[in-house]
């Protein structure tokens, strides 16, 4: 798994965007954890940085399911957790999307930009 931090399109939110996540797979075992609150710090067509107060040990491969909304566009992703960094009051996780979400992420970000441009004029 390659972490694509240097993708050309990466949008960082001024205020982290609310999200809900749950762990769906640890190693080869399917799990069904309860949903928990999180915040999307930044997003690209290939992944996102997620913040949550929940500690997810990365002793084996972990997959999560994340739901969020950007500019009133509902988005949901299955992703591999590729890194974790402890932060103040929680943890930042680097997520690598499973599947191609490029078009839906780009469309949501275009709508967000259009909305924010209209609101600032």
C-alpha span between 96 and 91 (Å, rounded):
16
Question: What pLDDT score does 119 carry?
Answer: 66
Q: Is the pLDDT of residue 1 over 60?
A: no
Within a domain: residue 20?
yes
pTM: 0.85
Number of structural domains found in the chain: 1
Please write the tens of the pLDDT for every residue from 73-102.
Answer: 999 999 999 999 999 999 999 999 998 888
Distance CA 3, CA 10 (A): 13
pLDDT above 80: residue 63: yes
DSSP string computed for 1-35 = ----TT-S--EEEEEEEEEEEEEEEETTEE--PPP
Q: For residue 1, is it within any domain?
A: no
pLDDT tens for residues 4-28? 555 567 899 999 999 999 999 999 9
* Structural domain includes residue 41: yes
Phi-psi region of 116 (alpha: psi -120 to 50; beta: other; left: phi over 0): alpha
């Amino acid at each position: 798994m390659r972490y694509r931090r240097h993708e050309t399109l990466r949008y960082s939110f001024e205020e982290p965007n609310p999200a809900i996540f749950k762990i769906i797979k640890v190693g080869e075992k399917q799990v069904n954890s309860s949903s928990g609150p999180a915040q999307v710090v930044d997003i690209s067509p290939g992944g996102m940085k997620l913040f949550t107060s929940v500690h997810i040990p990365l002793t084996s491969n972990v997959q999560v399911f994340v739901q969020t909304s950007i500019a009133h566009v509902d988005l949901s992703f299955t992703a591999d957790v590729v890194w974790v960094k402890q932060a103040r009051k929680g943890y930042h996780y680097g997520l690598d999307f499973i599947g191609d979400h490029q078009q839906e992420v780009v469309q949501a970000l275009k709508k967000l930009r259009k909305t924010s441009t209209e609101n600032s004029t």
